[in-house]
Amino acid sequence: MADSVKNIYEYQLFGLPFMGCDLCGFNGDAVADLCARWHQVGTLMPFARNHNQNATTGQEPFRFNWSLNANVSDNHDLTYTDLISTAIKNRYTLIRYFYSQFWAINEYGGSFFKPLFFEFGDDPTAYQVIEKNILVGNALKASVETTNLTK
């Protein structure tokens, strides 16, 4: 997942703003925790899809419909499917912003999913933990934390 953020940054340098990755990874079987996190980050990527090869276990969101906290017994148990569903809904709430940003990139050039220093090169903090601080378009900043959901 962390590599996908860096890879999209690299494509921005080459002037290819509509780039993304296969959420949950393409090779190997997906783990629920990683897949949920990847969907959350994928919400902000220019292109994101849940896609994998035929030789691996399916990784559709409904396949991860088990509790985040299996040891906790309450009636309001949050599942990995809930997290993935919320991430997908969040992406759709941003769709107008995405369209506006891509229109501006088409007209004037630029990049969409980028490190902070692309816009704030004079700020020394923009160069700290580059792959965890993302600027989407010119106005939306996101910080990505890669810790385990279940801890």
Distance in angstroms (rounded) separating the CA atoms of residues 52 and 1: 14
Pairing of strands 113-115, 47-50: unpaired
Q: How far is CA 16 from the centre of its chain?
A: 17
Distance in angstroms (rounded) separating the CA atoms of residues 29 and 54: 11
Q: Which residues of 40-53 are buried (b: 16+ CB within 10 A; e: fewer)?
A: bbbbbbbebebebe
pTM score: 0.76
| Predicted confidence pLDDT, tens digits, the chain (151 residues) | 767 788 888 888 888 888 887 787 666 667 778 778 888 888 888 888 776 667 666 677 677 776 776 555 555 678 888 888 899 999 999 999 999 999 999 999 999 999 898 889 898 888 888 878 889 998 899 887 755 544 4
Distance in angstroms (rounded) separating the CA atoms of residues 53 and 75: 36
pLDDT at 42: 86
CATH homologous superfamily of domain 2-143? Glycosidases (3.20.20.80)
Q: How far is the CA of 11 from the CAs of 4, 34, 51, 70, 94, in angstroms? A: 11, 23, 20, 40, 22
In 5-138, beta strands by DSSP E: 20-23, 47-50, 113-115, 133-136
Please name the residues in contact with 26: beta carbons below 8 A apart, sequence gap of 6 or more. Answer: 51, 52, 53
Q: Where are the domains of the chain?
A: 2-143
Distance in angstroms (rounded) separating the CA atoms of residues 56 and 72: 30
